[in-house]
């Protein structure tokens, strides 16, 4: 069972990634290549449905030139 906190965290991550990607002019394929993640995973992340690993968070943060905690602001 998913808790409200879990859903909120996933949605925050998804919103941050999507907004950053769009604001910086990256299409999904280019962003996936840069972040070293698959397109289906990006779709799940951006829709708030992904339960990502720590290594995926690190790859996202690196690609976006952020620290991991900043992904949830």
So what's the pLDDT on residue 2? 65
Residue-level pLDDT, tens digit, the chain, 73 residues = 568 888 899 999 999 999 999 999 999 999 999 999 999 999 999 999 999 999 999 999 999 999 999 999 8
Residues 12, 39, 19, CA angle at the centre, nearest 5°? 35
62, two tokens: 């690196």
Q: Report CA 69 to chain centroid distance, whole Å.
A: 12
Residues 42, 43, 44, CA angle at the centre, nearest 5°? 90
So what's the pLDDT on residue 1? 53
CA separation for the pair 15, 20 (Å, rounded): 8
Q: Is 36 helix (H, G, I), strand (E, B) or coil?
A: coil
């Amino acid at each position: 069972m998913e808790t409200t906190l879990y859903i909120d965290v996933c949605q925050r991550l998804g919103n941050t990634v999507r907004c950053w990607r769009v604001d910086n002019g990256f299409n999904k394929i280019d962003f996936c290549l840069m972040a070293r993640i698959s397109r289906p995973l990006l779709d799940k992340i951006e829709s708030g449905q992904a339960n990502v690993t720590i290594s995926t968070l690190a790859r996202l943060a690196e690609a976006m030139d952020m620290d991991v905690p900043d992904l949830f602001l």
